[in-house]
């Protein structure tokens, strides 16, 4: 059974945001506007996304083909 995934896209700049928010974006694999990362839908990832909701857009990701 495949783990659910979410697609996180950065939609706003991190300029002027707090250092912890910039670090969270880097940890999510983001860093530039328009960059997208497909991540597992786990509580720790959801918590990181919750910290930077004002900078990102979250959608459900279809299953990745292997």
Give the number of domains in the chain.
1
Residue 16, in any domain of the structure: yes
| CATH code, domain with 35 | 3.30.1390.20
Domain that holds residue 27: 5-60
pLDDT of 6 reads 96
Residue 66, in any domain of the structure: no
66 vs 40 pLDDT, higher one? 40
Residue 30 Cα distances to 1, 42, 53, 55, angstroms: 27, 18, 13, 10
| pLDDT above 60 for 7 | yes
* C-alpha count within 13 angstroms, C-beta hemisphere, residue 51: 18
pLDDT of 63 reads 59
Residue 65, in any domain of the structure: no
pLDDT tens for 10-64 read 999 999 999 999 999 999 999 999 999 999 999 999 999 999 999 999 999 875 5
Residue 36, in any domain of the structure: yes
Residue 24, in any domain of the structure: yes
């Amino acid at each position: 059974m495949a783990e659910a995934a979410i697609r996180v896209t950065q939609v706003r700049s991190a300029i002027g945001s707090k250092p912890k928010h910039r670090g969270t974006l880097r940890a999510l694999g983001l860093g530039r506007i328009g960059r997208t990362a497909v991540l597992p839908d786990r509580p720790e990832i959801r918590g990181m996304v919750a910290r930077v909701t004002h900078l990102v857009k979250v959608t459900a990701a279809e299953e990745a083909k292997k």
